[in-house]
Amino acid sequence: MNVSKLFTKQQWRELELIAYLTDHPNKTGVKDRELSKVLDSTILTLQASLANLQLMSGIGKVHYEDSYLKIEYYDNCGLQEVYQKALRESQALKLMSILFFKEFASLEDLAEELFISLSTLKRLITRTNSYLKKEFNIFISTRPISVVGNEHNIRLFYLKYFSEAYTITEWPFESYLNKKNHERLISLLVEKTSLNINFALFQHLKIVSGVNLIRFQKGYRINEYNNNQGKLLLNELENSKEMKDLSSLFRMKFNYYITEDVLTELFSNYLDKRLELGISTKTVASSREVTPSPYILPSWIAVLDSFEKKLNLSISNKYNLAVHLHATVILGQEDIGVNFLVYDYKQNYLALLRSQYETIYSCFLNLVEDLYDKNHILLDSDLRDNLLYCFFITWENFYLEMRRKQYKLKVLVIERSYNNTGNFLKRYVGEFFEVTNFEELEVMDIDLVAIAEEYDLIVTDVIIERVEGAEILFFNRMIPTLVADRLNDYLRLNTP
């Protein structure tokens, strides 16, 4: 893989080892011979790697006993943290990070900054360039020392790097940009344009504008977007007291005010005129489009309409979901869903959704593929996966709809008290179970055969014989909260 050029052989072998163990969890673990075959290494090489594991420090452990390997993560840790650590420790990416923030007169100065020899630096640049040229069509020039290529691609690389290498609560530009002022500007933008975003997209906009501002301050320009959208944004923002204060702070820091050109550079990725920026910046032209196309918003509303009709489901935030799907297409590699260089965190989530909700997964995918086929446009796998991911995480009542469509388990409560527990369960778990008190049957005899035909579960504090067809949950103490917890456990274990 080309991305392996960003790491040493030891680091890459560790990443492959950890990823494989994470993706293949079982009680016994993975046989060392199987793993060495997957990694294309010998048992001795595998054992040497295990003896010198660096990337799991503080994140978890790899257990190696009786020729079997198992991975254990500490609480609140996982594979994404491993990749994050690898990115921060990669010498190639340290080099790229330093070149983003600083300028160097000579390779000797750069080598000293990295604490490596000049010959090691030259080899590092060669290896890093082989990755950069293939993936982004950019490269590190040594005369003068800088990252060279299309400015859009350079910013794209750094957007992905800073997004993946840092946690959502970290601010990688601490020494260069005031985090609070940056957040104030984006909050004002969201407020004035009525953008509908969550905390993740807010963080994404911070990184986007942070990368763009530092590159802009160094004299680099995008100059590929019509700044009419910049004018629209400035018109919405400029008269507010908050904007005047921020613009004055901006001038103190950078020696110029926030103008439409500055806004265009800061948010260039999101100023494509085809994007729906919010209620305040909508244009009439976009609503006049009639020919179905992935590049216009009405087409995505039509896709969701068809989806609802085919499966008899409801999408409570249909317009917002359509806006996100449309933005996913327009933004392409700049979208939040592809904010990574190495680890595609979406794949495990999509695999789970496909296995548990295959009908929904396939229906939406077929509608998307039809839209692209009718326009004779190739739908590449990266965009396909990102659209699927966007669809599932943005559909706000997805799990509620799945629960609504799902068969409710029928529960009969047979208790010594007068419907105490049964009435409690009706109130607090009735959304997931159809609860009936035995007294409601208006019979005195407990006919287990008839009950088994009608009910899935019997909840009771009375000892009754087992019967085929119905599961009995017996309680010595019929405490409502304990019964509810047991039912929730049953639901979790027996439904997707």
Structure tokens given for 26: 């079982």
Instruction: Supply the pLDDT for residue 44.
Output: 93
* 3-state SS assignment for residue 280: helix
Q: Is the pLDDT of residue 407 over 80?
A: no
Residue 279 confidence (pLDDT):
45
Residue that wins the pLDDT comparison between 318 and 408? 318
What does the pLDDT read at residue 409? 87
**Which pLDDT score is estimated for 368?**
98
Helix (H, G, I), strand (E, B) or coil at 411: strand
Considering the entire predicted model, what is its pTM? 0.84
**Mean pLDDT value across the chain:** 90
Question: Model confidence at 283, in pLDDT bands (50, 70, 90)?
Answer: very low
CA separation for the pair 295, 302 (Å, rounded): 13
* Strand order, beta sheet including 30-31: 30-31, 68-73, 60-65
Highest mean pLDDT among 191-200, 272-281, 309-318 belongs to 309-318
Average pLDDT over residues 344-363: 93
What mean pLDDT is predicted for residues 92-107? 97
- Contact between 173 and 210 under an 8 Å Cβ cutoff? The reply is yes
Q: What is the pLDDT of residue 443?
A: 86
* Residues 349, 71: Cα–Cα separation, whole Å: 20
pLDDT, residue 285, reads 44
Of 21, 9, 4, the closest CA to residue 48 belongs to: 9
pLDDT (tens digit per residue) in 165-214? 999 999 999 999 999 999 999 999 888 877 788 899 999 999 999 999 99
Question: Is residue 59 over pLDDT 90?
Answer: yes
Instruction: Report all structural domains of the chain as residue ranges with CATH numbers, in order of start.
Output: 2-78 (1.10.10.10), 90-149 (1.10.10), 297-402 (no CATH), 407-494 (3.40.50)
Which tokens belong to 185?
A: 């500007």
Report pLDDT for 377: 95
Predicted confidence band of residue 286 (pLDDT cuts 50, 70, 90): very low
Q: Which of these, 126, 161, 155, lies nearest to 142 by C-alpha position?
A: 126
Query: For 368-385, b where at least 16 C-beta lie within 10 A, e where not — what string?
Result: beebbeeeeeebeeebeb
Percent of the chain whose pLDDT exceeds 70: 95
Which spans in 238-345 are helix H?
241-254, 260-266, 284-287, 297-311, 318-331
User: Which tops the pLDDT comparison, 117 or 239?
Assistant: 117
Element (H, E) at 127: helix 118-136
Q: Nearest CA to 79 among 56, 99, 62, 97?
A: 56
The whole-angstrom separation of Cα 487 and Cα 120 is 62
DSSP bridge partners of 460: 414, 474
Q: List pLDDT tens digits, range 216-274.
A: 999 999 865 555 677 777 888 888 899 999 999 999 999 989 988 888 899 887 888 78
- What is the average pLDDT across 352-366? 94
Q: Which residues pair with 140 in a beta bridge?
A: 147
Q: Which of 85-94, 133-142, 258-267, 461-470 is the least confident region?
A: 461-470
Q: What pLDDT is attached to residue 334?
A: 92
Identity of the amino acid at 263: L
Express each pLDDT in 369-401 by its tens digit: 999 999 999 999 999 999 999 999 999 999 888
Which of 7-21, 401-415, 472-486 has the weakest average pLDDT? 401-415
What pLDDT band is residue 290 in, cutting at 50, 70 and 90?
low
Q: pLDDT exceeding 90 applies to what percent of the chain? A: 72
Burial 81-107 (b: 16+ CB within 10 A, else e): bbbbbbbeebbbbbbbbebbeeebeee
- Residue 194 pLDDT: 76
- Count of residues in the chain: 496
Q: What is the mean pLDDT of residues 69-79?
A: 92
pLDDT class of 280 with cuts at 50, 70, 90: very low
What pLDDT shows up at residue 435?
Answer: 95
pLDDT tier, 420 (very low <50, low <70, confident <90, very high otherwise): very high
| pLDDT of 182 | 93
Distance CA 4, CA 385 (A): 23
